[in-house]
Structure 1
Amino acid sequence: MEFDTFDTETFADELAQAENNREIATRVLFENERVRVWELALEPGQRAPFHCHAVPYFFTCVDAGRSLSRFPNGTSVEVDYAEGDTWFDNIANGPEIHDLENIGDNRLRFTTVELLDS
């Protein structure tokens, strides 16, 4: 994973609201008092806006592809995801903010589970 930089002013309005944006994916598939299960599906060139992860979560890649994520500190990273790639984040350093853009040639899709009772 190689980090790059970008001009945060391009996204200034969105970043100002990001801490309050808990819409971490495209749609909620299931929710109860313990978990919230999301689907994130992005077509090529489509972007999920800056949002905040405030509780521990994990995601699994359902449809492989390439993404670009930007962070409030002006860094960005491109990632190639394979089907089945899974990642867990316990939010040990506090809430995390980023966006996600599909920079590949096919649909990029994830299932994300937030652990609400953590």
Structure 2
Amino acid sequence: MKGDVVHTATGEPVVLVDIGITRLYEDRQVRIWDVSLEPGECHPWHLHHNPYVVLSINGSDGRMDWLDGTEPRFISEYRGGAVYRPVSPVHRLTNIGSAFYRNRLIELKDLGENAGGPIDIGPGDRSVQGQPPGDVLPDGRVPVLLHNDVAIWTLTLAAGETRELDATHQPHVIASLEIDPDDETGGVHVPDAKPYVLINLTDEERTWFVVELRYDGAEQNRSTS
């Protein structure tokens, strides 16, 4: 947690920061963060207590360094991509690319802190650019990542277009890929209406991530790590 003191492999103390930079939303099930890094900028040492989803708004290349001295992991995120990750050891993230990087990070609290500890979700999953994992849905959603726990699509609407989404069965998170700097929500919305109507009120084409929390109610049947 933020403020906790941990130690490097050589015994040097490190104070942990939040897993995200700006908290955008929180309820009983999810906690949603903005993580934005300029080229060369680093998000300092932090520790995840919940499995989480990363939605890439602006892609770049990154390096994950591990506090225990394990070899770094190099990642390349692309706009419109997504990752589903289990908890992992203390690490930091550096934008080693030449482009601005931004994501929406969704902590799944029912698979971690609400369950008394992180539930074993296996290795998680990662989208592959240009390789959708399924067919386009009748409402126009394009699959990005389909996992037993979470399903992620993108949906693009023309200016002024309206689309009704079936959000009847499981909780959903909606996150815009176009960010209005004056929008304090960061383009994130957790709908309570079922079905949910998404409206593009702008005069330009817009795209949203649609995230379905498929695990809802099933997490109690799995063991914690």
C-alpha distance in 1, partners of 2:85/2:44?
A: 19
User: Whole-Å Cα distance in 1 between the matches of residues 103 and 91 of structure 2?
Assistant: 16
Q: Which structure would you say has the larger RCO, counting Cα contacts within 8 Å and 6 or more residues apart? A: 1
Shift of 1:40: 0.2
- Identity among equivalent positions (%) equals 25
- In the TM superposition, residue 8 of structure 1 has moved relative to its aligned partner by 5.9
What amino acid is the match of 1:82?
Y
Q: Deviations over 1:53-94 (max 9, x none)?
A: 011111111101011110123121221111122111233xxx
Check if 1:85 corresponds to 2:78: no
Q: Which residue of 1 aligns with 2:102?
A: 109
- Counterpart amino acid of 1:85? G
Alignment equivalent of 1:37, drawn from 32, 41, 64: 32
Stretches of structure 1 that go unaligned for 5 or more consecutive residues are 1-6
Larger radius of gyration: 2
With the length of structure 2 as denominator, give the TM-score of the two structures. Answer: 0.42
More strand by share: 1
Q: How many residues align?
A: 103
Q: Which runs of 5+ in 2 are unaligned?
A: 1-7, 112-225
Q: Which runs of 4+ in 1 moved over 2 A?
A: none
Contact 2:67 2:89 in 1 (8 A): no
Match of 1:73 in 2: 68
